[in-house]
Amino acid sequence: MLGKLLKYEFRATARLFLPIYAAIAILAGLMLLLRALPDDARGVSFLTFMVGLIYVVAAFGLVITTVVVLVSRFYKNLLGQEGYLMFTLPVTTGQNILAKLIPAMCWTIGSSLLCFLVVILQNFFSGGAPIRIPNGETAGFILLMLLALAAFILFCYMCMAIGQTFNEHKFLASVGAFIIIQLVLQILGVAGAFGLFKLGALANLSFSVDNIPGWSVLAGANVAMLAACAVFFLITRWLLDKKLNLA
């Protein structure tokens, strides 16, 4: 069932993303073409500038579209009128959430890669540094980025799942939940770090960064991020299972 949900979700989102992707790919191609031309001609440099400008605007538009789509698909398709269909299909709530999360992650990754397409292509054509095979630490860092992305998306979902439990002003309540929980998490984070520091001072430990091996920090961060994903996912699922309140 998850496969079927994913099929329809990718279809529904592709019609928004693919045209922008195509436009950016064409712009990237144009820029490479223009750079290949001798740049002493004034017209060419002006054209390069214009195409570059449009590229930046398009890339910026893409980033905004990605964020708007990942929030609005969840809100509209699950918590709006379309939720009447999605929550009466014989699928589990977990599947419904994953069917939003996975495409949202794919499109975000795709959009990020596209924004750097010109840099990547130029590097490739100008015979620049060959693409390095990532070592363990780079791989760990990439994993952390992906987990952080998933955690952020799931955090947004959780806030919307909280907002929908209200009988009125659901979206406002979602935004309110986002701000308040972020604030609380920040305060807890600072307090926690401060507490650790104090504890360390009491125990007479030296908290020098040099003493901690890099890989353990990375591994710890990955585990913490994974835990955050799990917590946000489980809360969202519980809210949509037990506290669903479609308008």
Partner 1 sequence: MSEHSPYLLEARSLTRSFGRNVALSGLDLRLAPGHIVGLLGPNGSGKTTLMKLACGLIKPTAGEILIDGEKPGPESRSKVAYLPDTSYLNDNMRVSDIVEMYADFYADFDREAAFSLIRDLKVDEKARLSTLSKGTREKVQLVLVMSRRAKLYLLDEPIGGVDPAAREYIINTIIGNYHPESTVLISTHLIYDVEPVLDHVLFLKEGRIVMEGGVDELREQSGKSLDALFREVFRC
Is 85 a binding residue for partner 1 by CB under 8 A? The answer is yes
User: Could you give the CA distance from residue 119 to residue 46 in angstroms, rounded to a whole number?
Assistant: 20
Please report how close the Cβ of residue 68 comes to partner 1 at its closest, in angstroms: 16
Q: Output 43 or 90, the one with its CB closest to partner 1.
A: 90
User: Could you give the CA distance from residue 66 to residue 208 in angstroms, rounded to a whole number?
Assistant: 40
Please report how close the Cβ of residue 239 comes to partner 1 at its closest, in angstroms: 11
Q: Output 6 or 54, the one with its CB closest to partner 1.
A: 6
What DSSP line would sit under 56-124, residue for residue? HHHHHHHHHHHHHHHHHIIIIIIHSTTHHHHTTSSS-HHHHHHHHHHHHHHHHHHHHHHHTHHHHHHHH
User: Could you give the CA distance from residue 161 to residue 59 in angstroms, rounded to a whole number?
Assistant: 30
Window 88-107: residues binding partner 1 (CB under 8 A): 88-93
Return the range that interacts with partner 1 (CB under 8 A); candidates 8-16, 137-145, 191-199, 214-222: 8-16
Neighbouring C-beta atoms of residue 40, cutoff 10 Å = 7
Is 23 a binding residue for partner 1 by CB under 8 A? The answer is no
Return the range that interacts with partner 1 (CB under 8 A); candidates 25-33, 76-84, 137-145, 191-199: 76-84
Is 25 a binding residue for partner 1 by CB under 8 A? The answer is no
Instruction: Of 186, 194, 229, give the one whose Cα is nearest residue 98.
Output: 229
User: Residue count at the site for partner 1 (CB under 8 A)?
Assistant: 26
Is 169 a binding residue for partner 1 by CB under 8 A? The answer is no
- Judging by beta carbons within 10 Å of its beta carbon (0-12, 13-18, 19+), is residue 123 exposed, middle or buried? middle
Is 204 a binding residue for partner 1 by CB under 8 A? The answer is no
DSSP class of residue 246? -
Please report how close the Cβ of residue 176 comes to partner 1 at its closest, in angstroms: 18
* Residue choice 40, 84, 203, 216 for contact with partner 1 (CB under 8 A): 84
* Residue choice 2, 6, 12, 218 for contact with partner 1 (CB under 8 A): 12
- Cα 60 from chain centre: 15
Residues that bind partner 1 (CB under 8 A): 1, 4, 8, 12, 15, 77, 81-85, 87-93, 167-168, 241-246
